[in-house]
Amino acid sequence: MWGDLLLAGSLVLIIEGLMPAISPSGWRSMVSQAAQLSDRGLRAGGVALIIIGAVIFHLVG
């Protein structure tokens, strides 16, 4: 189980690092735009990502 969690965490780090590695200026622009969103908008986006991730996890697992 711990091995699976470590693998999942390492995959998250790889995916998170792709955007700044491939397109640093695009990543910077995206972060700048995200900083201008309201707390409510950021929260809604976060909840949407959690739901999408949970659905994919359920379908695959």
Tell me, yes or no, whether 8 lies in a domain.
no
* Arithmetic mean of pLDDT, 28-46: 94
Tell me, yes or no, whether 9 lies in a domain.
no
When divided into structural domains, the chain yields a total of 1
What's the mean pLDDT when you consider all of the chain? 93
Residue 2 above 90 pLDDT? no
Tell me, yes or no, whether 34 lies in a domain.
yes
Share of the chain above pLDDT 70, in %: 100
* Arithmetic mean of pLDDT, 7-25: 93
Tell me, yes or no, whether 54 lies in a domain.
yes
The angle at the Cα of 8, spanning 17 to 46, to the nearest 5 degrees, equals 65
Dist. CA 55–CA 25, nearest whole Å: 31
pLDDT of the residue at 54: 93
The beta strand positions in 1-61, using DSSP E, are none
Does pTM surpass 0.75? no
Tell me, yes or no, whether 14 lies in a domain.
no
The residue segments making up the domain with residue 35 are 24-61
pLDDT of the residue at 18: 94
Tell me, yes or no, whether 17 lies in a domain.
no
Tell me, yes or no, whether 43 lies in a domain.
yes
